[in-house]
Amino acid sequence: MRGLAKWWLWSFAAVLAAQQPAPEAAAPEVVRRTHAWSPATVEALATLPVQEGGRVKPLSAHAAATLHLVHGRRDMKLDTDGDGKDDLTLTPTEWLLDVWFFPEVAAHYPLFRIENVEVLDAIGIPHEGGQRFRLEYVSFAAMAAPGRVGVPGQKLIELAHQYSRKQPLDRSPVESHLVNSAQQVNTYYDLHYQMEVLRSTFPIEGEPLRAALGEVESLDFAALLERLPAFRTLLRENSDKLEDPAWAGAARLGAALQQLSGSDAGAALFPPTGSVGDSEVWLGLGGVLDLGVRGDIAAEKLGMVRHLQRAIVATEQGPRERELVQFRDAVVARATARGEYAKVELENTYLTKSWHYQALHWFLLAIVVVGVGWLAPRKRWLWALGLVATAIPLGMLTWDIVLRCLIRERPPIVNLHDTFLFIAAVGVAAAIVGEVIVRRRFVIALAPIFGALLIALARAFEVEDGKDQLAPLIAVLDTNYYLATHVTSINMGYAAGMFGALVGTLWLLLQAFGIARHDQAFHKAVVRACYGIVAFGLIFAVFGTIYGGVWANDSWGRFWGWDPKENGALLICIAQVALLHARWCGWVKDLGFCVGAALTGIVVAFSWFHVNLLGIGLHSYGFASSTKSALFWYYGIQLALVAVGWFGTVMRRVGAAAAVPAAVPAGD
Amino acid sequence: MNGPAAHVAPPVAPSPLRAVVDLLASMKLTIVLLLAFGVLTFAGTLAQQHQGLFVVQRDYFESFWVVWDTQMPLPLGRDLTLKVPLLGGYSILLALFVNLVVGGVVRHRWNWRNAGILVAHLGIGLLLVAGWVKLHYSYAGHVALYEGKSTRTMVSFHDFELALLRRDGDRVVERTVPATAFEVAARAPRSVTLDAPDLPFQVVVSGWLENCRPQQKGPMFATDMPVVEDGQGAWFLQSVPPEKERERNTAGCYVTVIEKVGRKEHKAVLHGLDLRPFAEERSPFRFEVEGTTWGLDLRRVVWDLPFAVRLDRFEKSDHPGTMMARDFSSWVTVFDGAAEGRPVHIYMNHPLRSHEHVFFQTNWGPQPGSSMKGPPWWSVFEVAKNPSDAWPKYASYVILLGLLVHFIAKLIRFLNSSTRRATLPEMS
């Protein structure tokens, strides 16, 4: 049992290590940031509803997904005093507000994550040192500054355009990096200039234009919007005079407005005036201008534009924040009237509370509690405390999943990110039940590690993927019935497969290192638990796989198409059925069964993620190419553990067999 | 050794029949077949990266055996090419079915303790039978319709046919030959002659290409392919490597129509290129023999439907502010007896099932970014005829029931067992 406690501490350290951020080799750029957003304003703006990616969401969610995409992190760390150390951390909402309201400052933030100096060389950004794989954060300003091969950002876009003609699987790592970086720069570019039109003034040149729009030299965006009906009338009544030099100003203004009208990028900030039934599509500033040109802009929307514009041009932080909050309140009022705000607050609360992240910490605590329980194995209250310590984060994780269901009005799993959280919850819940049955402490010992690792992976995947994880579904997935049956079932099969692999590996290592070797009942209990988990997994894997075929039969016209994802699920079923049959017919004993269960983990990982990386098939709604290296690491580690466990166990048995005759007295 | 000699019965060799039955019923055979199936599935999955789904399905999963051509990366950037012979999916699943029936059902002990396993095995057997029926007795294609238009034919995704057409009053009389009947024999440099006693001509098919592009021959370049001149210029077929997605292939061939009287020849280049999805809108090669105008067309196989379908209305909606489709669906009228027809709404995951045919909403057009703009819209349905359409659903219920019965019974037995109680640790 002491051996187990030692092993326990190593596991805890491994989980802690997985939580540490990756080392950053390059010192961040010194940033001259002289402003600060008040917490109240940031809190209010976090719940500003915006429409992006086909749904209305809080600004905090939009900011977080965008920061994940362009920065590859959940926050923005800045070195504002030049000492080479980060001294300020911005939340995604603060970062987005900086980009919108202080773009010239935000342009110097260390933003684009470059992981290969060949990429820097290709776009002409100077760097120190020759290490090939080194992490650097490059600012937008550096991307825009002319270098030795021209403007790096422009060069990046050119190269990306060239390489994007290749199939993703045919690109080299550097080419893939360039294509991804170009997407990040494009996204940021749109964000950087999203509010530019509100900083602009439009010259009012020529007598006819001044007579129609007022005797002014120029107009800002909001003022121009007010006068657009008059401008439209002017143009309509004098269309034949636009070639006249006296009308050149009017012609130029018309051309500028035509260019800006309807051209929107980034999140839409202005809800339509009517109900959802009239129009679901929110507008950006280009869309608002388009309404103005058509003489269809409501006073309410004009008021929103004014508030936002005043906030943009304000020179002091106080008035800026006041106008911004008024803008937010106006948008919230309209969104509420349209029935689109109810989920925004809930989603922001979900993001703020981040129950699964809290659960991660509680799982880490549970690892310690369960570990302490190993030191006093006969204390029932310590055993019960371990169960409770594991059940608390399970409750948090379950609540997190429930909130996601409520926000999306969907079953628990609709994308790859969801699978991590769901599998973690199912695995831990099953482990608690299993522990109550066998009461040997090893199942409950694995549960918090399993939960913590999967939540950590979910968070890493979220940042890596850089997408909205609550995004609406493509048409073929729009069926809560099959999402609730097939998807849930198959993921319970994944959960059991992975947990079974963990238990099988545990048994192998216990045997190989002779841990608790005198407690044969304990070792038998581990094998029985492994068997039970594999059997549990088989039920869900088989039903989920076949029911996936039933879904495919209703949506694609065939039950089985040998698609990679289908094949992956089939491989899990085959592995588990073969293993159970081998056990039943006596072909494998405890050792063989645990080796098989441990290897099934590789099959599950292949089905769960690897088939998505093949770039083929109909299940093309969850690709994340850089997950590949993580998968190969897992395969390697799992194979190594199985090899060590098997070899150690066999050697121990050989040793034990050799020792038996020596112990027998001569002559017997 | 001095005791009475024990009477030991000599071992009786099992009869050959018994030995075969024992082998077929063996659980070890099950495991071997399952492992072979696992390797095949893994190999077939990886092979799809290079060969595409259709070819892999045919060569790996519907065949008796296959050679897995794979490359293993070696140090110094070299690859080792391996050719591994594997049992094909057809052989494995057939053997598994026999093994399942003999060992898993017939010879299994029929008692309550094994009830769950027996039920699960029956469900798996039903699933395998459904797959076999699907493989041999089903076909699939598509139908594309503009709003207001109707049809009673469907068009194959993959397969081509040579159609001989003759106008007879208001109707067109068709006579077709599937390409599978001549495509291998008609590859260059060979040719195939198609003949029928009642036809005044023969058709010689040559230069068959699985995938090609029809090209107009210009004066500035040469080609190894035959060039055929018609009233609009000189044409030849440019060979193109087959696509991974086989439905993207355009088959092509050269035909020479030789009149039986006078041996006059009419030459043409035929190809299956169509403005998808409207494969039926085609202009065949026309020629005249003995005062009758004939048409010859190489097209995707056309099947008759047992009923007519009219697309009344198509609707689609996008997620707001995006071009990502949230939903698309069609309202059709099915004419299968009643003169006025019956209205049916077909939408994602809710197909139309009628007369052993199933219509699935699969696509629409014009798509965003294409040169055409909607409205008018057209709707595309995948159409499948599969006698075992619903069997897998029933099989899944049966298997689930069997597994639940078996493992729950096993869990209950374990919970009540003295073994478990004996292994519970002492705690205070």
- Assembly ipTM: 0.84
> Is residue A216 pLDDT above 60, yes or no?
yes
User: Which residues of chain A does B121 touch, with a Cβ-Cβ cutoff of 8 Å?
Assistant: none
Check whether residue A167 and residue A238 sit in a common domain: no
Integer angstrom CA distances of residue A179 from A41, A111, A125, A160, A651:
36, 16, 16, 4, 51
**DSSP SS3 for B199:** coil
The predicted pLDDT at position A16 comes to 40
How big is the A-B interface in CB pairs under 8 Å?
187
Q: For residue A618, what is the nearest residue in chain B, using CA coordinates?
A: B53
Check whether residue A514 and residue A650 sit in a common domain: yes
User: Which residues of chain B does A525 touch, with a Cβ-Cβ cutoff of 8 Å?
Assistant: 423
CB contact (8 A) between residue A570 and residue B41: yes
What is the arithmetic mean of pLDDT over A87-99?
96
The radius of gyration computed from the CA coordinates of chain A, to the nearest angstrom, equals 30
Residue with tokens 């077939």: B44
Cα three-residue angle A556-A557-A561, rounded to 5 degrees: 75
The predicted pLDDT at position A579 comes to 97
> Is residue A650 pLDDT above 70, yes or no?
yes
> Which of A172, A276, A486, A558 best probes binding to B when mutated, by most B CB atoms within 10 angstroms?
A558
Query: Which of B376, B373, B378 lies closest to B276 in space, CA to CA?
Result: B378
Query: Which of A617, A576, A639 lies closest to B47 in space, CA to CA?
Result: A617
- Is residue B31 within 8 A of residue A576, CB to CB? The reply is no
Check whether residue A533 and residue A632 sit in a common domain: yes
> Is residue A20 pLDDT above 60, yes or no?
no
Other Cβ atoms closer than 10 A to A313: 17
**Nearest chain B Cα distance for residue A108, angstroms:** 31
> Could you tell me the pLDDT band of residue A10, with boundaries at 50, 70 and 90?
very low
Check whether residue A62 and residue A172 sit in a common domain: yes
Query: Which of A432, A355, A363, A469 lies closest to A57 in space, CA to CA?
Result: A469
SS (H, E, C) B309-349: EEEEEEEEEECCCCCCEEEEEEEEEEECCCCCCEEEEEECC
- Is residue A72 within 8 A of residue A463, CB to CB? The reply is yes
Check whether residue A159 and residue A219 sit in a common domain: no
Residue A88, both tokens: 């300020």
CB contact (8 A) between residue B38 and residue A561: no
User: Which residues of chain B does A605 touch, with a Cβ-Cβ cutoff of 8 Å?
Assistant: none
What is the arithmetic mean of pLDDT over A82-98?
92
- Is residue B358 within 8 A of residue B352, CB to CB? The reply is yes
The predicted pLDDT at position B428 comes to 66
Question: pLDDT tens for residues A582-594?
Answer: 999 999 999 999 9
- Is residue A123 within 8 A of residue A145, CB to CB? The reply is no
Check whether residue A331 and residue A369 sit in a common domain: no
> Is residue A626 pLDDT above 90, yes or no?
no
- Is residue A579 within 8 A of residue A516, CB to CB? The reply is no
Would you list the domain boundaries of chain B? 16-137+391-415, 139-149+305-385, 158-301
- Is residue B160 within 8 A of residue B179, CB to CB? The reply is yes
CB contact (8 A) between residue B396 and residue A543: yes
Residue B348, both tokens: 């994602």
The predicted pLDDT at position A620 comes to 45
Domain that holds residue A267: 198-343
Task: Please tell me the distance from the alpha carbon of residue A502 to that of residue A430, in angstroms, as a whole number.
Answer: 13
Check whether residue A551 and residue A589 sit in a common domain: yes
Query: Which of A578, A566, A477, A490 lies closest to B48 in space, CA to CA?
Result: A566
Q: For residue A439, what is the nearest residue in chain B, using CA coordinates?
A: B424
The predicted pLDDT at position A187 comes to 93
User: Which residues of chain A does B34 touch, with a Cβ-Cβ cutoff of 8 Å?
Assistant: 574, 577-578, 581
> Is residue A239 pLDDT above 70, yes or no?
yes
Beta-ladder partners of B66: B86
Q: What is the pLDDT along chain B (428 residues), one digit of tens a residue?
A: 444 455 666 667 778 888 888 889 899 999 999 999 999 999 999 999 888 888 899 999 999 999 998 887 776 667 788 899 999 999 999 999 999 999 877 777 888 888 999 999 999 999 999 999 999 999 999 999 999 999 999 999 889 999 999 988 888 899 999 999 998 999 988 999 999 999 999 999 999 999 999 888 887 787 888 888 877 788 899 999 988 888 889 999 999 999 999 999 999 999 988 765 666 667 789 999 988 899 999 999 999 999 999 999 999 888 998 888 888 899 999 998 777 889 999 998 899 998 889 999 988 888 877 777 777 889 999 999 999 988 998 998 999 999 999 999 988 988 888 766 766 667 66
Q: For residue B403, what is the nearest residue in chain A, using CA coordinates?
A: A539
CB contact (8 A) between residue A557 and residue B383: yes
The predicted pLDDT at position A646 comes to 96
The predicted pLDDT at position B34 comes to 97
pTM (two decimals): 0.84
**Nearest chain B Cα distance for residue A577, angstroms:** 8
Residue after which a domain boundary falls, among A471, A486, A519: A471
Query: Which of A89, A75, A72, A85 lies closest to A33 in space, CA to CA?
Result: A89
- Comparing CB atoms, the residue among B44, B351, B386 nearest residue A562 is B44
What is the torsional sign of CA B223, B228, B229, B232? negative
Task: Please tell me the distance from the alpha carbon of residue A202 to that of residue A664, in angstroms, as a whole number.
Answer: 103
User: Which residues of chain B does A376 touch, with a Cβ-Cβ cutoff of 8 Å?
Assistant: none
Going by the DSSP 8-state scheme, the letter that residue B104 receives in this structure is I
Residue with tokens 């009287």: B261
The predicted pLDDT at position A668 comes to 38
User: Which residues of chain A does B414 touch, with a Cβ-Cβ cutoff of 8 Å?
Assistant: 528, 532
> Which of B121, B386, B407, B427 best probes binding to A when mutated, by most A CB atoms within 10 angstroms?
B427
**Nearest chain A Cα distance for residue B427, angstroms:** 4
- Comparing CB atoms, the residue among B45, B348, B351 nearest residue A564 is B45
Task: Please tell me the distance from the alpha carbon of residue A630 to that of residue A612, in angstroms, as a whole number.
Answer: 14
Check whether residue A163 and residue A278 sit in a common domain: no
Integer angstrom CA distances of residue A580 from A106, A535, B185, B411:
59, 8, 49, 15
- Comparing CB atoms, the residue among A51, A478, A615 nearest residue B320 is A51
Check whether residue A282 and residue A327 sit in a common domain: yes
Task: Please tell me the distance from the alpha carbon of residue A538 to that of residue A476, in angstroms, as a whole number.
Answer: 27
**Nearest chain A Cα distance for residue B220, angstroms:** 29
What is the arithmetic mean of pLDDT over A459-467?
85
User: Which residues of chain A does B326 touch, with a Cβ-Cβ cutoff of 8 Å?
Assistant: 54, 472, 475, 478
Residue A456, both tokens: 């950590």
CB contact (8 A) between residue A559 and residue B130: yes
- Please give the backbone phi and psi of residue B143, each rounded to the nearest 5 degrees, phi first: -130, 130
Q: For residue A264, what is the nearest residue in chain B, using CA coordinates?
A: B321
Q: How far apart are the first and last CA of chain B?
A: 57
Residue A383, both tokens: 């055993």
Check whether residue A222 and residue A327 sit in a common domain: yes
User: Which secondary structure element, helix H or strand E, spans residue B168, and what is its range?
Assistant: strand B150-168
Residue with more model confidence, A72 or A134: A72
Residue B244, both tokens: 């991974």
Task: Please tell me the distance from the alpha carbon of residue A503 to that of residue A516, in angstroms, as a whole number.
Answer: 15
The full DSSP string for B248-312 is G---EEEEEEEETTT--EEEEEEE----TT-TT----EEEEETTEEEEEEEEEEEEEEEEEEEEE
> Which of A280, A611, A616 best probes binding to B when mutated, by most B CB atoms within 10 angstroms?
A616
The full DSSP string for A12-66 is HHHHHHHHSPPP--SPPPB--------HHHHHHHHT-EEEETTEEEEHHHHHHHH
The predicted pLDDT at position A619 comes to 53
- Is residue A557 within 8 A of residue B350, CB to CB? The reply is no
- Comparing CB atoms, the residue among B350, B407, B427 nearest residue A380 is B427
Residue after which a domain boundary falls, among A323, A343, A363: A343
Residue with tokens 């991590």: A420
* Mean of the per-residue pLDDT values of chain A: 87
User: Which residues of chain A does B48 touch, with a Cβ-Cβ cutoff of 8 Å?
Assistant: 562, 564, 614, 616-617
Check whether residue A301 and residue A209 sit in a common domain: yes
Query: Which of B53, B59, B133 lies closest to B97 in space, CA to CA?
Result: B133
Going by the DSSP 8-state scheme, the letter that residue A340 receives in this structure is -
What is the arithmetic mean of pLDDT over A246-254?
89
* CA atoms within a 13 Å half-sphere pointing along the CA-CB vector of A204: 20
- Is residue A117 within 8 A of residue A174, CB to CB? The reply is no
Per DSSP, helices labelled H in A476-563 are: 480-482, 488-512, 520-555
User: Which secondary structure element, helix H or strand E, spans residue B151, and what is its range?
Assistant: strand B150-168
User: Which residues of chain A does B22 touch, with a Cβ-Cβ cutoff of 8 Å?
Assistant: none
Going by the DSSP 8-state scheme, the letter that residue B108 receives in this structure is S
Residue A546 CA to chain centroid, in angstroms?
Answer: 29
Q: How many independent structural domains does chain A possess?
A: 4
What is the arithmetic mean of pLDDT over A389-406?
97
> Is residue A23 pLDDT above 50, yes or no?
no
> Is residue A1 pLDDT above 50, yes or no?
no
User: Which residues of chain A does B401 touch, with a Cβ-Cβ cutoff of 8 Å?
Assistant: none
User: Which secondary structure element, helix H or strand E, spans residue A77, and what is its range?
Assistant: strand A76-78
Residue B261, both tokens: 């009287």
Check whether residue A579 and residue A533 sit in a common domain: yes
Q: For residue A532, what is the nearest residue in chain B, using CA coordinates?
A: B411
* CA atoms within a 13 Å half-sphere pointing along the CA-CB vector of A331: 31
Query: Which of A237, A130, A170, A107 lies closest to A615 in space, CA to CA?
Result: A170
